[in-house]
Amino acid sequence: MDSLYLTIEEARRGLAEKKYSSHELIQASLDRISALNPKLNAFLTVTAETALAQADEIDAKRLRGDQLSPLAGLPLAVKDVLATRGVRTTAGSKILEQYIPPYTATAVQRLFDAGAIMVGKTNCDEFAMGSSGEWSAYGPTRNPWNTERVPGGSSSGSAAALASGMCLSALGTDTGSSVRQPAGFCNLVGLKPTYGRVSRYGLIAMASSLDQVGIFARTVEDSALILETIAGHDSLDSTSVSKTIFDLKESLKDVPKGLRLGIPKEYFIDGLDPAVETAIRKAIEDLRGLGFTIVDVSLPHTPDALAVYYLIMPAEASSNLARYDGIRYGLSLGDEAKDLIDIYRKTRAAGFGPEPKRRIILGTYVLSSGYYDKYYLKAQKVRSVIIQEYKDIFKTVDCLVTPTSPTVPFVIGERKEDPLQMYLADIFTVSANIVGLPAISIPAGFSDGLPIGLQLIGPHFQEHRLYQVARTYQAATSWHRQYPVG
């Protein structure tokens, strides 16, 4: 095989028709990783031997005529912030450089149970803290569309791996933008499910009330298949829900007429790249032409969402990262320390990079005596206002249509020394995490060869509605069928 630019359905059909075996499919994935990873730095760990052995087992089952899942024998990439038993899981940090989990994240295990084969663990911003893929302790990931540009973050490796044909699907995590923004930057479909739809067990926590496992795919149909596989209640995660998921495959066949799509004026602001705005406005008109009703709406507290996010997220991160103390697991410099406090200092100084340190300091500050009420508590109160605002708007529209990012992929290094500029990359995406809503980014055009993403945001547990709108747009366009050269 020369390429892995296949959808899951195409690959599954090829296996059924014996055009190739699972072994050949996995080997093609591994060959492409070997050829492209030195340039893109998408994978931190490659599990070649295990993947090929699993492929041989799937081929034997297929030869016997066993009933197999549509995902059986297909190459999957997993963000290195999701635990995998017996396979190194670093969270992109030196403090976990040698960490090998004794368990597997539930979402990953459900894909394994369906026969998907992990070819490796992908690079990410350290502890998922970043919007560009530049904050990994193991070097930046590069965008396959232009290697001088960022692929987005924090799920940078998963996006780059799928966009460059190293795998057929990938898991990421999304705390403020970390699946949708890299999907937009790499011309992929990227879904952040409703909070609680997918178990967070085995996800190395950054901000527990915001984190969610997400999906990278080439098409809406592929994304829906993966969501059906990983969704559902998990007794190991008290925040997961048992709410039944719609039959996504069936729901894609019957899209209701006249769905109302809201266009929030606050998402078309100063600072929005003119090329991005042009592409999104064109996509909105395309949606109108496809029979959707376009409604102008307002979400007045949208400008406050970024400030709320960057108070709540670092506060939760500072609490979650306190467990990395140089004593229980991970990096320890105890032999070089004179007392307990010195162990903490030396281990964290050497193990954490600049972005986790920045967020830990900020989070500790807003939780400290004298500042908790002024910053953290006030942010939570505004969060409640934003939640109600979205509940009210979804009484009048079925979903919202916005840009995914205010810009096209920016140059590596361009914003790294200016954290505030970097944080502004999340301005259109953080609200969905604050409220816990499902949101999806889909390919919607290009500017000078760089991808542009269109974001759809829906009511809680209405992923099927997002998929219906996204699938209708996808069927009428060919953006998702364009691939980077190389």
Please report, for the chain, the start and end positions of each structural domain, with discontinuous segments joined by +: 8-256+406-481, 302-382
From 132, 178, 251, 441, the catalytic residue: 178
Tokens of 194: 């409703």
Residue 1 confidence (pLDDT):
61
Decide if domain 8-256+406-481 falls under CATH 3.90.1300.10.
yes
Strand order in the sheet with 260-264: 43-46, 117-122, 75-79, 169-173, 213-217, 189-192, 439-447, 450-457, 399-403, 260-264, 293-297
Interior angle at CA 212, CA 141 and CA 479, nearest 5:
55
Which residue in 22, 29, 79, 158 is the catalytic one?
A: 79
Bin 73: left if φ > 0, else alpha if -120 < ψ < 50, else beta. left
Strand partners, 192: 439
- Helix (H) / strand (E) element for 446: namely strand 439-447
DSSP secondary structure code for residue 214 in this structure: E
pLDDT along the chain (486 residues), means of 10: 84 96 97 98 98 98 96 98 98 97 98 98 98 97 98 98 98 98 98 98 97 98 97 97 84 89 95 96 98 97 95 97 91 88 94 96 94 95 98 98 98 91 91 98 98 98 97 97 89
pLDDT of residue 329: 83
- Give the separation between CA 154 and CA 45, rounded to whole angstroms: 17
Could you say which of 21, 132, 136, 154 is catalytic?
A: 154
Q: Establish whether 178 is a catalytic residue.
A: yes
- 7 touches 224 (CB < 8 A): no
Is 169 known to be catalytic? no
pTM (two decimals): 0.97
pLDDT of res. 156:
98
* Distance in Å from the first CA to the final CA of the chain: 15
* pLDDT at residue 2 in the model: 58
